[in-house]
Amino acid sequence: MPSSKILAVPLNYQGIYPCPVCRVGKIRDMPLMEAMGCDFCHEIFTVNLEQEQLKMLSRQPPLIWRWNGFNWTETQLEGVELGWGYALGASAFVLFPTIIIGIVAYNFPLDPHAPITWLPSIWTCLTFLVHFSIIVWLLIEIYQVPISAYWRGIIRWREVRTTVTSARNFQGNGVIGNGE
């Protein structure tokens, strides 16, 4: 038996696990319920102990994570399987319009003395950026990436860091603990 399996923690209601949604808080059992909740983002999850799965029911279709003994893996939408066809479609959605506009801009160049000679290249770049941002936005919507929770976590981390730094500076200046 590999040593990594010995150290693995099985999924149970008594354990405390990292939150797969916000990745900042901890999930633990909720009293009088067969569910677990996060102490940071306040998401509620149902648990399938046999398959070691965690299901977030606050969205439809729900997201499901699998516990591998160390962390959450295999984020998937219930009943939805995103395969290579979706990746191919997303790539075509981003690249096809960009290539068409780039070819047109290359084959029909503007007069070099015109004041807007920069427009075709900027238009091509904007086409790529807008189509790419649409795909990123769709992925964020599908997988419910908690950008606001990340932002709150960063702000809390900065506040704690500045508080600790200012306390150290306060103590280091001889104000605290110098015996006077």
Query: What does the DSSP 8-state code read for residue 150?
Result: H
What residues have CB less than 8 Å from 94, skipping those under 6 apart? 128, 131, 132, 135
Residue 145 pLDDT = 64
Residue 12 pLDDT = 85
Is pTM beyond 0.85 here?
A: no
CA 108, distance to chain mean position in Å, is 42
Element (H, E) at 66: strand 63-67
Residue from 82, 83, 45, 38 nearest 62 by CA: 45
What residues have CB less than 8 Å from 80, skipping those under 6 apart? 61
Coil/strand/helix, residue 35? strand
Residue 78 pLDDT = 73
Residue 6 pLDDT = 65
Mean pLDDT per 10-residue interval, the chain, length 180 residues? 63 87 86 87 87 84 85 75 86 96 91 87 96 91 68 78 75 54
